[in-house]
Amino acid sequence: MTRVLVTGGSGRLGRSVVASLAETGYDVVSLDRESVPAGELRGDIVQEVIDLLAPGEAERVMSKHVPDAVIHLAAIAVPFSAPEDVILSTNTRLAYAVMSAASGAGVSRVITASSPTVMGYGNPQGWLPGRFPIDEGCARRPWNAYGLSKMVAEETMHMLAAANGNHVQYAAFRPCFVVSPEEWRGAPTQQGHTVRERLDDPRLSAPALFNYVDARDAAEFLILLLEKMDSIPNAQTFFVGAADALAREPLAELIPQFVPGSARLAAPLTGDSPAFSIDKARQMLGWHPKRSWRTELSPESDDGVAAAGSVAQTSGGFAPAGSNQEEAQ
């Protein structure tokens, strides 16, 4: 059985990743500073509480668990939630420690979490992308320590791929704003408000350009990537988002209200099109996100009721203006 070691396995995204891996038949080791109560774990998962930045710990766990693959999620995941120098040093050191220890231990597949924030949206000095929808070919221009730390994680992957050739297969992914199953049912997101509030008040979703992804869809992306990364070019980076935007109005109309000067660029974002393209993951891996706010959030209940299904098409009303830079992205 293939053994996958997941760092940050107790986190918002990590919990869905370890559960999906276990349900798919992988042997899963979850490493985190925090443990998940055994009753909340879905599937047979080995947990180890660990500070991956403690000297020698990343190497020790690779020799102890001998994984076939590593998915590195551990990080400070919210911009400005700690001093800038702490975010930069924590996330870059974690990415280097985990990916280099995995490479040194002969792990054959190594995936690291990056973020769409590497693109630099939300910059108070002004920002426009090269194009909408934003794809992996667009230039990265981070403006805070979190975005920079994720760009360094991507570059660490490239450096290790250059050093190790194709003995190790690497990939990075940029998950959009992750919504966990309990958040569809009304649990607060990192910002304290609910997904429904994010949808009802575009000021809350605008800082992330209305992007989002269901945690289980992101987990399914990672499983497909694990299965296919031997057959794609090494060190690829992918956006991982829902097929639609977290908005009731077309982004061609919403984005110009929050991103000055973007009306012409945003014009292609008609209907329910998202700001970030997932065509690369679709074409290279055959990944298709199955869940949308339209299928997961009950229209009747404030609590929201999960009901998995295919992506539907609808629209509705909104309210203008505002900004929140402290976004997990």
Ligand X SMILES: NC(=O)c1ccc[n+]([C@@H]2O[C@H](COP(=O)([O-])OP(=O)(O)OC[C@H]3O[C@@H](n4cnc5c(N)ncnc54)[C@H](O)[C@@H]3O)[C@@H](O)[C@H]2O)c1
Give me the 148-187 binding string for ligand X, x by CB under 6 A, dash otherwise: ---------------------------x-xx---------
Place of tokens 């919504």: 179
* Residue 149: DSSP 8-state: H
Instruction: Please spell the DSSP secondary structure of 56-91, one letter per residue.
Output: THHHHHHHHH--SEEEE--S--STTSS-HHHHHHHH
110 binds ligand X (CB under 6 A): no
Measured distance CA(74)–CA(64) in Å, rounded: 19
Of 180 and 252, which CB lies nearer to ligand X in the complex structure? Answer: 180
Spatial contact of 113 and 73, defined as CB atoms under 8 Å apart: yes
Interaction of residue 75 with ligand X, rule CB under 6 A: yes
Binding of ligand X at residue 99 (CB under 6 A)?
no
Q: What kind and span of H or E run contains 258? A: helix 251-258
Residues 303/185, Cβ–Cβ less than 8 Å: yes
Contact between 216 and ligand X by CB under 6 A: the answer reads no
Instruction: Check residue 33 for interaction with ligand X (CB under 6 A).
Output: yes
Q: With binding defined as CB under 6 A, does residue 77 bind ligand X?
A: yes
Identify the sign of the CA torsion 208, 211, 216, 221. Answer: negative
Q: Is 219 in the site for ligand X (CB under 6 A)?
A: no
CB of 39 to ligand X, least distance (A): 18
Name the residue nearer to ligand X (CB basis): 14 or 122. 14
Q: Which stretch binds ligand X (CB under 6 A): 49-57, 256-264, 270-278, 309-317?
A: 49-57
Name residue 107's amino acid.
V
Which residues of the shown chain bind ligand X in the complex (CB under 6 A)?
8, 10-14, 32-34, 50-53, 73-75, 77, 94, 113, 115, 175, 177-178, 328-329
